[in-house]
């Protein structure tokens, strides 16, 4: 939108400061100074020779008005000076006129522009800004319920989704510096290229706030890393799905949960970030249950599982173990089944808690099966204090667990082509997990001498998965 050279004032009737400076604007016109006045609401409270209706807020949008009244000087088609609110000396200097507003207070702040009210800026950007969403736009008939329409299109995970309007998607996109058409990677099972805007659409549908969007982008990027083998995880007949763990300052910034009920309901960030990743797999990649998703039982993890780590402990964090400083934020994706509880209310020494955890870990997949999957162990605060009081580090604890996890069983070679002809002949003392197959995370509620074990899908091999960490 182009503006003629001269002076522009942007006002609204619903602003005490604009009402206050009404006689000043009339005085300016009476002095023969050229001024064009744009009104954001009603124009009947001020009569000048050049009033322009801006109830559409188009001019306010292009002028980037945040506060009214605003004075803007345009010279050779470009803005050269701007004055916001009312300050007598500043207005006199702007107009190079003495005696303006002598009966008024020396200073009075302005009011917020209608163009920057909640949700309005995105609506104006969609209407006037020429935003390219690089996506097909669908117009829903006026009598059709938009949530039901999303169900009919197959865009949901069985729960209602938030309709992805242009304004909502733009607000999500504005929360990241990444370009809408930047390709994040190829989403299985149909190997569809996924631009940032598609992630934004699914983040809206999942119920994410815009401030969650950088986390969602990092989670999608990690899940699309070849090391994670998302296609295999999606197609397996086993139970698993992606799990997202968040580290760093962003946990508190978006009010994530790492304490009581962190794997359950009630926290918006935890619930919707993991869901957004799953909706990307479904809606972009085409991963539908009983289609490419061949899980025989499934798991609630497939709705989305995301939580943060408790970083107020002596142990290194998950992200630190991957070389990311504690003052930086990161996500790590794992393959995950549903959690298994481990209770030990008697042990007051680390060795006892390790023995209890090892006993529970032996049952994963099968008590006589080794190296079939990895596991994440959430060490609850009360169990964690047992290790802390004894001065045990995370590395000490992992080492002790491995020492207690040699089993009489068979290494089934789950991730190799080797065929074991007679499992009965392969009964030996073997490690239950590969050396890097146990990940310890501090989290959970204070009450209860409990920890949680989260098994996963196949350990890394030709067809397996590795955890992947990405900095946000």
- The pLDDT-based confidence of 7 (bands split at 50, 70, 90) is very high
Q: What is the mean pLDDT of the chain?
A: 91
Output the pLDDT for position 416: 40
Q: How many CB atoms lie within 10 A of CB 276?
A: 30
Half-sphere exposure of 257 (CA within 13 A, CB side): 19
In whole angstroms, what is the distance from residue 166 CA to residue 136 CA?
Answer: 11
**Are the C-beta atoms of 390 and 450 separated by less than 8 Å?**
no
- The pLDDT-based confidence of 415 (bands split at 50, 70, 90) is very low
- The pLDDT-based confidence of 421 (bands split at 50, 70, 90) is very low
- In percent, the amount of the chain with pLDDT more than 90 equals 77
**Are the C-beta atoms of 457 and 463 separated by less than 8 Å?**
no
- The pLDDT-based confidence of 424 (bands split at 50, 70, 90) is very low
For residue 52, give the DSSP letter. Answer: E
Mean pLDDT (whole number) for 348-363:
96
Q: For residue range 219-252, what is the model confidence (pLDDT) as tens digits?
A: 999 999 999 999 999 999 999 999 999 999 999 9
- The pLDDT-based confidence of 135 (bands split at 50, 70, 90) is confident
In whole angstroms, what is the distance from residue 110 CA to residue 18 CA?
Answer: 7
Nearest to 452 by CA among 466, 440, 467: 440
Q: Options 3.40.220.10, 3.40.30.10, 3.40.50.880, 3.40.190.10; which CATH number does 6-128 get?
A: 3.40.30.10
Residue 462 has pLDDT above 90, yes or no: no
Highest averaged pLDDT of the listed ranges 24-33, 62-71, 115-124, 463-472 = 62-71
Task: List the domain boundaries for the chain.
Answer: 6-128, 149-471
Residue 461 has pLDDT above 80, yes or no: no
Mean pLDDT (whole number) for 162-166:
94
- The pLDDT-based confidence of 134 (bands split at 50, 70, 90) is confident
Half-sphere exposure of 438 (CA within 13 A, CB side): 29
Cis peptide before 69 (omega within 30 of 0): yes
Angle at which helix 268-283 crosses helix 196-206, to 10 degrees, equals 130
Q: For residue range 149-159, what is the model confidence (pLDDT) as tens digits?
A: 999 999 999 99
In whole angstroms, what is the distance from residue 280 CA to residue 136 CA?
Answer: 16
- The pLDDT-based confidence of 48 (bands split at 50, 70, 90) is low
- The pLDDT-based confidence of 49 (bands split at 50, 70, 90) is low
Q: For residue range 294-345, what is the model confidence (pLDDT) as tens digits?
A: 899 999 999 999 999 999 999 999 999 999 999 999 999 999 999 999 999 9
**Are the C-beta atoms of 330 and 469 separated by less than 8 Å?**
yes
- The pLDDT-based confidence of 47 (bands split at 50, 70, 90) is low
Output the pLDDT for position 423: 42
Q: Where are the alpha helices (DSSP H) in 236-267?
A: 250-253
Among all chains, which residue has been given the structure tokens 């949700």?
Answer: 119
Buried b (16+ CB within 10 A) or exposed e, 13-24: eebebbebbbeb
Q: For residue range 27-38, what is the model confidence (pLDDT) as tens digits?
A: 998 888 889 999
The full DSSP string for 289-305 is BTTTB--SS--GGGG-E
Nearest to 203 by CA among 183, 226, 220: 220
């Amino acid at each position: 939108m182009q503006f003629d050279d001269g002076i522009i004032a942007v006002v609204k009737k619903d602003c005490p400061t604009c009402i206050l400076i009404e006689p000043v604007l009339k005085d300016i016109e009476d002095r023969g100074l050229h001024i064009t006045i744009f009104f954001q609401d009603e124009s009947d409270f001020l009569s000048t020779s050049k009033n322009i209706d801006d109830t559409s807020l188009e001019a306010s949008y292009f002028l980037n008005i945040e506060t009214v009244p605003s004075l803007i000087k345009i010279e050779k088609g470009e803005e050269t000076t701007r004055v916001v609110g009312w300050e007598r000396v500043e207005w006199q200097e702007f107009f190079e006129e003495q005696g303006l507003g002598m009966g008024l207070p020396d200073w009075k702040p302005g009011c917020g522009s209608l163009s920057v009210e909640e949700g309005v800026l995105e609506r104006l950007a969609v209407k006037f800004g020429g935003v390219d969403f690089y996506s097909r736009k669908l117009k829903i008939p006026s009598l059709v319920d938009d949530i039901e329409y999303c169900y009919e299109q197959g865009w949901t995970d069985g729960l209602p989704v938030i309709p992805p309007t242009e304004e909502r998607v733009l607000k999500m996109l504005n929360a990241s510096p990444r370009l809408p058409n930047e390709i994040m990677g190829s989403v299985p099972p149909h190997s569809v290229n996924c631009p940032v805007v598609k992630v934004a659409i699914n983040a809206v549908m999942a119920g994410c706030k815009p401030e969650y969007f950088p986390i969602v982008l990092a989670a999608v990027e990690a899940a699309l890393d070849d090391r994670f083998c998302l296609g295999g995880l999606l197609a397996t007949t086993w139970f698993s799905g992606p799990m997202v763990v968040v580290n760093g300052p962003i946990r508190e910034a978006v009010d994530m949960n790492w304490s009581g009920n962190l794997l359950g309901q009630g926290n918006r960030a935890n619930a919707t970030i993991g869901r957004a990743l799953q909706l990307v797999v479904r809606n972009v990649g085409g991963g539908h249950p009983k289609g490419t998703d061949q899980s025989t039982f499934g798991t609630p993890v497939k709705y989305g599982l995301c939580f943060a780590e408790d970083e107020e402990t002596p142990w290194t964090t998950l992200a630190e173990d991957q070389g990311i400083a504690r003052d930086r934020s990161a996500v790590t994706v794992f393959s995950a089944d549903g959690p298994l509880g481990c209770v030990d209310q008697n042990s007051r020494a680390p060795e006892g808690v390790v023995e209890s955890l090892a006993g529970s870990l032996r049952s994963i997949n099968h008590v006589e099966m080794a190296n079939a999957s990895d596991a994440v162990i959430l060490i609850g605060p009360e169990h964690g204090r047992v290790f802390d009081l004894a001065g045990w580090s995370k590395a000490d604890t992992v080492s002790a667990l491995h020492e207690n996890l040699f089993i009489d069983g068979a290494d089934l070679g789950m991730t190799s082509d080797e065929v074991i002809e007679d499992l009965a002949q392969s009964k030996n003392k073997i490690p239950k997990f590969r050396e890097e197959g146990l990940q310890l995370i501090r989290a959970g509620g204070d009450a209860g001498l409990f920890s949680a074990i989260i098994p996963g899908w196949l350990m890394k091999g030709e067809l397996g998965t590795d955890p992947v960490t990405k900095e946000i």
